[in-house]
Amino acid sequence: MKRTTVFLDEALLKRLKQVSRAEGKSFAAVVREAVAAYLVAQPASGPRPLPSWVGMGDSGRSDISTHLDDFLWTDPHE
């Protein structure tokens, strides 16, 4: 497991502590279970479809992916 930091408002923190005491579980265990339950309830999502405008332009260049950093981080006005 990896440690992480989560910011919670006071009411949520208080409620989680109450649940952990009532169930005799560690605070971290209750948080893990809550996150897992939330994720299970989410609809399964695969890769999102690309927006309809992707691929509309054609630069005429075939080396864009090879020189991407050069294009992104070079000021064309210099």
pLDDT digits (tens, 9 = 90+) for 8-53: 999 999 999 999 999 999 999 999 999 999 988 877 777 778 888 8
pLDDT at 7: 94
| 63/78: higher pLDDT | 63
pLDDT at 10: 96
What type of residue sits at position 15? R
Read off the tokens for 10. 């006071």
Q: CB count, 10 Å around CB of 30?
A: 19
Query: 50-78: b or e for each residue (b if 16 or more CB lie within 10 Å)?
Result: eeeeeeeeeeeeeeeeeeeeeeeeeeeee
pLDDT at 19: 96
- Reported pTM: 0.54
What sign does the CA torsion over 7, 11, 12, 17 have?
positive
